[in-house]
Structure 1
């Protein structure tokens, strides 16, 4: 959809997202959870501004989600390269974060308003995955009941695909 085809509300949101990304490096969109799924936070504009994948985190409280996504974009924009399946222990004190590529089939659901800036969906995206406070990942057999539903893995299979859990990843 071209900018001319947008409604006034869509055009205003697009302009706000671009202005925020131009000023801060990326815009943040936060979506509340419900009884079926956790809240999620995603970036808009990181790809446009810095050529780094947009990011999403699911299941964290609002402020924590925005803090994590902003930290990822800031570090990636500064030149840090992130690998999928690697535990990064310096985002939150004592709690690791791992990245996985997002399957394009999830883009509309989890990056909907990013399509106002990237109408063709031609941007890469990564998911920032956070374990429980006891460092149990959503795919682990001992994960708390409902954790995998609260923080789904946005690959085609719903499980890590860039690494093998317990072999070359968490």
Structure 2
């Protein structure tokens, strides 16, 4: 539905739909600054394949796009990504886990998706990456500030779909 959208929003919505039809999802990279980490998210994966939109936070330009595109390709082919499982082949040399994103973070991290789903009626996951030493943001041994550079987008800002070290990383 495009009712209430201005010309620019309709153009952008049409572009996202065309990209998701061609590539599984459009990808948006948001540049960070000294206070805010960069993040990358998908637009159209839910519409195209019925798989959750994805976001990754804190990765350098290009790496985030590679990760979310790899996720969309594989999820679109039917691979499942249950929260708390770990993948070592989504991006070379980096462990990745998945957590559901709380709806309270949708507008901040998936604003453009609302052009396709104005009521916020889509699912979303966060692709969380470990450090090169395989530390996760919630671990006490993780580098100082890692938990702020890669915040966990749940209501509690901690894993909620699994218990770290018990049934998840």
TM-score interval, normalised by the smaller of the two chains: over 0.9
Does the Cα contact within 8 Å between 1:37 and 1:151 map onto a contact in 2? no
Moved over 3 A (4+): none
How many residue pairs get matched?
169
Structure 2 gap segments, 5+ residues each:
none
1:112-152 deviations in Å (ceiling 9; x for gaps): 01000111110000000001111111000011111111100
Alignment RMSD: 0.9
- 1:91 is aligned to 90
Distance, in Å, in 2 between the alignment partners of 1:37 and 1:158 is 16
Does the Cα contact within 8 Å between 2:97 and 2:127 map onto a contact in 1? yes
Distance, in Å, in 2 between the alignment partners of 1:110 and 1:51 is 19
Distance, in Å, in 1 between the alignment partners of 2:7 and 2:92 is 43
- 1:8 is aligned to 7
Give 1:36 shift. 1.6
- 2:49 is aligned to 50
Distance, in Å, in 2 between the alignment partners of 1:155 and 1:36 is 20
Deviates more, 1:18-27 or 1:103-112: 18-27
TM-score, normalization by structure 1: 0.96
- 1:143 is aligned to 142
- 1:23 is aligned to 22
- 1:112 is aligned to 111
Does the Cα contact within 8 Å between 2:31 and 2:37 map onto a contact in 1? yes
Structure 1 gap segments, 5+ residues each:
none
TM-score, normalization by structure 2: 0.97
